Amino acid sequence: MKGGVPMYKVDDVLESWIDTGCFQSLRFVQQLEERGKTRERRIEMYPERLAFSENDKPEERSAPRPLDDGSFFFFVRTQDLVVGETYEFGQYFRPDRNPVVIRVLGRERVKVPAGEFDTIVLQPVIKTKGIFSEKGEARIWLTDDSSRVMVKMQAKVSFGTLTMSLTSVRHATPPEQVIANAVDNR
Protein backbone atom coordinates (compact mmCIF):
# COMPACT_ATOMS: atom_id res chain seq x y z
CA MET A 1 0.00 0.00 0.00
CA LYS A 2 1.27 3.43 -0.91
CA GLY A 3 -0.25 6.79 -0.29
CA GLY A 4 -0.80 9.62 2.09
CA VAL A 5 -1.48 13.29 2.40
CA PRO A 6 1.04 16.17 2.33
CA MET A 7 2.31 15.67 5.90
CA TYR A 8 1.66 11.93 6.22
CA LYS A 9 3.05 9.37 3.76
CA VAL A 10 2.74 5.59 4.06
CA ASP A 11 4.51 2.82 2.15
CA ASP A 12 3.50 -0.54 3.62
CA VAL A 13 4.53 -3.92 2.17
CA LEU A 14 3.09 -7.14 3.64
CA GLU A 15 4.42 -10.60 2.81
CA SER A 16 2.73 -13.78 4.03
CA TRP A 17 4.06 -17.32 3.75
CA ILE A 18 1.14 -19.74 4.00
CA ASP A 19 0.92 -23.53 4.17
CA THR A 20 -1.62 -24.03 1.40
CA GLY A 21 -2.42 -27.58 2.47
CA CYS A 22 -4.01 -26.52 5.77
CA PHE A 23 -4.12 -22.73 5.27
CA GLN A 24 -2.08 -21.48 8.19
CA SER A 25 0.68 -18.90 8.39
CA LEU A 26 4.36 -19.81 8.55
CA ARG A 27 5.99 -16.39 8.22
CA PHE A 28 4.91 -12.77 8.01
CA VAL A 29 7.03 -9.74 7.12
CA GLN A 30 5.85 -6.15 7.18
CA GLN A 31 8.05 -3.34 5.93
CA LEU A 32 6.50 -0.04 6.91
CA GLU A 33 7.67 3.44 6.07
CA GLU A 34 5.51 6.01 7.78
CA ARG A 35 6.21 9.69 8.42
CA GLY A 36 9.81 9.18 7.29
CA LYS A 37 10.46 6.35 9.76
CA THR A 38 11.10 2.79 8.64
CA ARG A 39 10.40 -0.34 10.66
CA GLU A 40 10.17 -4.02 9.95
CA ARG A 41 8.12 -6.71 11.67
CA ARG A 42 9.25 -10.27 11.05
CA ILE A 43 7.16 -13.03 12.56
CA GLU A 44 8.05 -16.71 12.37
CA MET A 45 5.16 -19.06 13.14
CA TYR A 46 5.36 -22.64 14.32
CA PRO A 47 1.78 -23.96 14.06
CA GLU A 48 2.76 -27.50 15.03
CA ARG A 49 3.74 -26.27 18.51
CA LEU A 50 1.30 -23.33 18.76
CA ALA A 51 4.07 -20.73 18.92
CA PHE A 52 5.39 -17.64 17.16
CA SER A 53 8.39 -15.36 17.50
CA GLU A 54 8.41 -11.69 16.51
CA ASN A 55 11.67 -9.95 15.54
CA ASP A 56 13.79 -12.70 17.13
CA LYS A 57 12.20 -12.25 20.58
CA PRO A 58 11.38 -15.30 22.71
CA GLU A 59 8.54 -17.46 21.47
CA GLU A 60 4.98 -16.73 22.53
CA ARG A 61 1.89 -18.93 22.38
CA SER A 62 -0.15 -18.64 19.16
CA ALA A 63 -3.72 -19.47 18.25
CA PRO A 64 -4.42 -22.83 16.57
CA ARG A 65 -4.19 -22.66 12.74
CA PRO A 66 -2.66 -19.16 13.01
CA LEU A 67 -3.19 -16.47 10.40
CA ASP A 68 -1.15 -13.26 10.17
CA ASP A 69 -2.44 -9.82 9.19
CA GLY A 70 -2.30 -10.40 5.43
CA SER A 71 -3.37 -14.04 5.28
CA PHE A 72 -6.26 -13.35 7.64
CA PHE A 73 -7.93 -11.05 5.14
CA PHE A 74 -7.22 -13.49 2.33
CA PHE A 75 -8.99 -16.13 4.47
CA VAL A 76 -11.99 -13.84 5.05
CA ARG A 77 -12.31 -13.36 1.29
CA THR A 78 -12.90 -17.12 0.91
CA GLN A 79 -15.84 -17.20 3.34
CA ASP A 80 -19.53 -17.08 2.45
CA LEU A 81 -20.42 -13.58 3.61
CA VAL A 82 -24.09 -12.68 4.03
CA VAL A 83 -25.21 -9.05 4.33
CA GLY A 84 -26.41 -8.28 7.84
CA GLU A 85 -24.48 -11.15 9.44
CA THR A 86 -21.60 -10.92 11.92
CA TYR A 87 -18.84 -13.54 11.94
CA GLU A 88 -16.23 -14.33 14.57
CA PHE A 89 -12.94 -16.03 13.77
CA GLY A 90 -10.35 -17.27 16.28
CA GLN A 91 -7.40 -17.86 13.95
CA TYR A 92 -5.58 -14.54 14.34
CA PHE A 93 -2.11 -15.62 15.49
CA ARG A 94 -2.19 -13.53 18.68
CA PRO A 95 -4.75 -15.32 20.91
CA ASP A 96 -5.43 -12.22 23.04
CA ARG A 97 -6.78 -10.42 19.96
CA ASN A 98 -9.35 -13.09 19.13
CA PRO A 99 -12.03 -13.36 18.16
CA VAL A 100 -11.73 -11.12 15.12
CA VAL A 101 -15.21 -9.86 14.29
CA ILE A 102 -16.31 -9.28 10.70
CA ARG A 103 -19.58 -7.43 10.19
CA VAL A 104 -21.07 -7.58 6.68
CA LEU A 105 -22.64 -4.13 6.36
CA GLY A 106 -24.09 -4.16 2.85
CA ARG A 107 -23.47 -3.86 -0.86
CA GLU A 108 -22.31 -0.77 -2.75
CA ARG A 109 -21.16 0.15 -6.21
CA VAL A 110 -17.86 2.03 -5.84
CA LYS A 111 -15.61 3.83 -8.27
CA VAL A 112 -11.84 3.72 -7.71
CA PRO A 113 -8.92 4.42 -10.08
CA ALA A 114 -8.94 0.74 -11.19
CA GLY A 115 -12.58 0.99 -12.30
CA GLU A 116 -16.13 0.69 -11.04
CA PHE A 117 -17.12 -2.35 -9.01
CA ASP A 118 -20.10 -3.95 -7.29
CA THR A 119 -18.83 -4.62 -3.76
CA ILE A 120 -19.68 -6.12 -0.42
CA VAL A 121 -18.80 -3.86 2.53
CA LEU A 122 -17.15 -5.27 5.66
CA GLN A 123 -16.29 -3.83 9.04
CA PRO A 124 -13.42 -5.77 10.64
CA VAL A 125 -12.88 -5.38 14.39
CA ILE A 126 -9.74 -6.65 16.10
CA LYS A 127 -8.89 -6.22 19.78
CA THR A 128 -6.11 -3.73 19.09
CA LYS A 129 -5.42 0.00 19.21
CA GLY A 130 -4.93 0.28 15.45
CA ILE A 131 -7.24 1.17 12.58
CA PHE A 132 -9.17 -2.09 12.96
CA SER A 133 -10.11 -1.39 16.59
CA GLU A 134 -13.74 -0.75 17.48
CA LYS A 135 -12.98 2.98 17.58
CA GLY A 136 -11.17 2.82 14.21
CA GLU A 137 -14.41 2.43 12.27
CA ALA A 138 -12.60 0.72 9.39
CA ARG A 139 -14.43 -0.42 6.27
CA ILE A 140 -13.27 -2.77 3.52
CA TRP A 141 -14.90 -3.06 0.10
CA LEU A 142 -14.45 -6.41 -1.68
CA THR A 143 -15.69 -7.14 -5.18
CA ASP A 144 -19.03 -8.93 -4.96
CA ASP A 145 -17.91 -11.87 -7.11
CA SER A 146 -15.88 -15.04 -6.69
CA SER A 147 -12.51 -13.21 -6.71
CA ARG A 148 -13.40 -10.88 -3.80
CA VAL A 149 -10.63 -8.40 -4.66
CA MET A 150 -10.16 -5.62 -2.10
CA VAL A 151 -10.85 -2.42 -4.01
CA LYS A 152 -11.07 0.06 -1.15
CA MET A 153 -10.24 0.39 2.53
CA GLN A 154 -11.14 3.31 4.74
CA ALA A 155 -10.41 4.03 8.40
CA LYS A 156 -10.74 6.92 10.78
CA VAL A 157 -7.42 8.03 12.22
CA SER A 158 -6.49 10.77 14.69
CA PHE A 159 -6.14 13.43 11.97
CA GLY A 160 -9.08 12.47 9.72
CA THR A 161 -10.00 9.60 7.44
CA LEU A 162 -7.49 7.43 5.61
CA THR A 163 -8.76 5.97 2.31
CA MET A 164 -6.87 3.49 0.16
CA SER A 165 -8.17 2.61 -3.30
CA LEU A 166 -7.15 0.00 -5.85
CA THR A 167 -5.30 1.66 -8.72
CA SER A 168 -4.91 -1.38 -10.99
CA VAL A 169 -5.56 -5.10 -11.03
CA ARG A 170 -3.92 -7.92 -12.94
CA HIS A 171 -5.41 -11.38 -12.65
CA ALA A 172 -3.08 -14.38 -12.62
CA THR A 173 -3.24 -16.88 -15.45
CA PRO A 174 -4.94 -20.07 -14.21
CA PRO A 175 -2.44 -22.99 -13.93
CA GLU A 176 -4.31 -25.06 -16.51
CA GLN A 177 -3.97 -22.20 -19.03
CA VAL A 178 -0.22 -21.89 -18.32
CA ILE A 179 0.19 -25.62 -19.05
CA ALA A 180 -1.93 -25.39 -22.20
CA ASN A 181 0.10 -22.41 -23.45
CA ALA A 182 3.37 -24.26 -22.81
CA VAL A 183 2.14 -27.32 -24.75
CA ASP A 184 0.90 -25.16 -27.64
CA ASN A 185 4.25 -23.34 -27.90
CA ARG A 186 6.35 -26.50 -28.34
Residues 6+ apart with CB under 8 A from 131: 138, 155, 156, 157, 162
The residue that leads in pLDDT, 128 or 124, is: 124
Q: What is the pTM of this model?
A: 0.80
Domain ranges of the chain: 2-169
The residue that leads in pLDDT, 163 or 100, is: 100
Check residue 5 and give its pLDDT: 61
Three-class SS of residue 33?
A: strand
Task: Give the percent of the chain with pLDDT over 70.
Answer: 82
Summarize pLDDT for 18-68 with one digit per residue, the tens.
998 889 999 999 887 776 788 888 999 999 999 999 999 999 999 999 999
Check residue 185 and give its pLDDT: 60
Q: What is the average per-residue pLDDT within 1-8?
A: 63
Check residue 170 and give its pLDDT: 79
What is the average pLDDT score of the chain?
Answer: 85
